[in-house]
């Protein structure tokens, strides 16, 4: 698959990208969950419980992300370019079926015993790998094709207002999961800019809790860079 389709233009001036950071987090979450499924020891009940719990959490976050895109981004696209969200909406319908199939495979692993559990886990791993592959391609399409539509039909101010609406609609518990995966997956400048904005707008206690939750997931060098940026150094 080509990185961009012929004729696709990358804007010379940076435009608001309503997909990029969330997708960085989802790519990291998908990859980590796939690896955990692949190395899961089906003879270790605690490991099985923890791995399947992560699969379920990942599916819940994917569903929440899908719902936000369909509620906020697709109507914005369709309102100014009819039919522009159709391909993405079709992909989403397939993803909803995948969520159900994967949830059933998770239950199969839980309920199986002995050698049957090993086979069920292998099936889940392969099924989840295909789900990851499909989502990686899907997110690429959204970032290239859907952004092209949004940038052509909306001003920066309109996109930022739409982003604010979307982000403010995310419940705190769901946001905590997004941040846990999104922040470590971002570059140091992206991470600093986002958390500077959160620091300026969130209550001090809430920001401190957010930082405490993030610290275990950042490398020492990344944490040092972030602290320096937040201190204004």
pLDDT tens digits, one per residue of 42-52: 999 999 999 99
Are 163 and 196 members of one domain? no
Q: Which of 103, 21, 26 is nearest to 61 (CA)?
A: 26
Q: Binning pLDDT at 50, 70 and 90, where does residue 11 land?
A: low
Mean pLDDT across the stretch 212-233?
A: 93
Residue 233, domain extent: 186-233
3-state percent breakdown (helix, strand, coil) of the chain, nearest 5: 80, 0, 20
Q: What is the number of domains present in the chain? A: 2
pTM confidence score: 0.93
Domain boundary among 171, 196, 215: 171
Mean pLDDT across the stretch 67-77?
A: 98
Judged by DSSP in three states, 138 sits in helix
Are 84 and 163 members of one domain? yes
Residue 150: CA count within 13 A, CB half-sphere: 27
Judged by DSSP in three states, 186 sits in coil
pLDDT tens digits, one per residue of 79-91: 999 999 999 999 9
pLDDT tens digits, one per residue of 132-175: 999 999 999 999 999 999 999 999 999 999 999 999 999 999 99
Domain boundary among 171, 194, 209: 171
Q: Binning pLDDT at 50, 70 and 90, where does residue 1 land?
A: very low
């Amino acid at each position: 698959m080509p990185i961009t389709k012929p004729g696709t233009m990358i804007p010379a001036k940076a435009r608001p990208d309503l997909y990029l950071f969330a997708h960085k987090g989802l790519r990291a979450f998908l990859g980590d969950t796939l690896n955990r499924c692949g190395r899961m020891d089906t003879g270790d009940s605690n490991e099985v419980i923890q791995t399947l719990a992560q699969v379920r959490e990942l599916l819940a976050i994917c569903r929440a992300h899908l719902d936000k895109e369909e509620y906020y981004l697709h109507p914005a696209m369709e309102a100014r370019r009819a039919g522009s969200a159709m391909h993405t909406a079709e992909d989403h319908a397939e993803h909803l079926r995948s969520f159900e199939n994967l949830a059933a495979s998770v239950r199969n692993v839980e309920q199986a015993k002995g050698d049957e559990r090993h086979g069920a886990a292998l099936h889940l791993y392969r099924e989840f790998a295909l789900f990851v592959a499909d989502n990686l391609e899907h997110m690429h399409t959204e970032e290239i094709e859907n952004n092209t539509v949004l940038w052509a039909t909306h001003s920066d101010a309109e996109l930022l207002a739409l982003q604010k609406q979307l982000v403010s609609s995310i419940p705190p518990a769901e946001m905590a999961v997004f941040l846990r995966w999104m922040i470590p997956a971002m570059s140091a400048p992206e991470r600093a800019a986002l958390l500077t904005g959160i620091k300026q707008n969130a209550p001090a206690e809430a920001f401190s809790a957010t930082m405490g939750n993030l610290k275990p997931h950042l490398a020492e060098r990344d944490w040092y860079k972030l602290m320096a940026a937040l201190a204004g150094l």
